[in-house]
Amino acid sequence: MIDGTNAIWAQVTAVVLIVLGAGAVLLAYRMWSRHRRMRLIPAIGAAGCYALTIVVMILGNVPVSEPPPTPAAPSIAPSSAGAGSTAGTGQTSSPAATTPAGPRCWAASRQPVDCREKHRFEELLGATNCDQATVVRFLGGSPAIDVVTARGVTAPGGGCAVQTADDQMGSAQNVLQQGTAAGWRRCFDRRTQTAVNCSQLHSREYVATGSTRRPTPDECMAAAATYLNQLPANLVDDLVVGVKDVPSGNPDPARCTIDARGNQLLDDSVRSLGVRPVPIHTT
């Protein structure tokens, strides 16, 4: 069988056969008039040429059937065990979208609420110890120097939670890394003799040392320098560093004080003050 790629040769062959057939017809006519007995020979040749022409033209235009393509082996995307693969089938499925579970929160009444709503308790995910150092680290601070108003408690239903002094909206995780985070730090107002957060007018700010024993004045100076990110000696016109009167072993982490000098008040935290002006309140 002549395949489709050689169709042009089939056409050339057909043309040659047509020419030969025409020649045979002409020869048959001439022999008809001169040699009547031999007239069948060219006639048969002409008929044969035309028959072959038809066959060649038909076969030359019939495309050869190609074998069906061999199916490619299914590709198996590399995947980790259990990450959406279908065992034993050579197929993969899209991994299921997973969202890490967020913390649980509770209102002041200890009723569970969404953490985007007002709440007073937030679960300390993964915490095995509900002490104050765990709370400070959760808030993004350092237990060695930061004193906060929040405290660690047993969560409703078990586990550990951070309890805030006021209703909060949103997670408290790493909140101490946002600006001075004054609203989360513990201060004191001498006018009312009450504890306040450091976003309110206050006369004293508390500093930890990372120890429950009573510190020396030099230890408080060192702790205050780290807390302020500045040498306290450079700020003596506005601030005074002191030792908090608390017995050794007391679980309260506050061990040192930074006070506004004289009758001055502060309206922001002095944490990481650096070269910024001391936030003395002016009226």
Task: Look at strands 151-154 and 160-168 and give their pairing.
Answer: antiparallel
| 181: exposed, middle or buried (Cβ count in 10 Å: 0-12, 13-18, 19+) | buried
- Percentage of the chain beyond pLDDT 70 is 64
Sign, CA torsion 255/144/240/193: negative
Indicate the domain borders of the chain. Answer: 4-60, 105-177, 182-260
Band the pLDDT of 23: cuts 50, 70, 90.
low
Instruction: Give the residue carrying structure tokens 């408290």.
Output: 172
Tell me the average pLDDT across 181-205: 97
Return the axis-axis angle of helices 7-34 and 40-60, rounded to nearest 10°. 170
**Does residue 58 register a pLDDT over 60?**
no
Tell me the average pLDDT across 36-44: 62
User: Which tokens sit at 141?
Assistant: 């601070």
Least confident of 66-70, 76-80, 255-259: 76-80
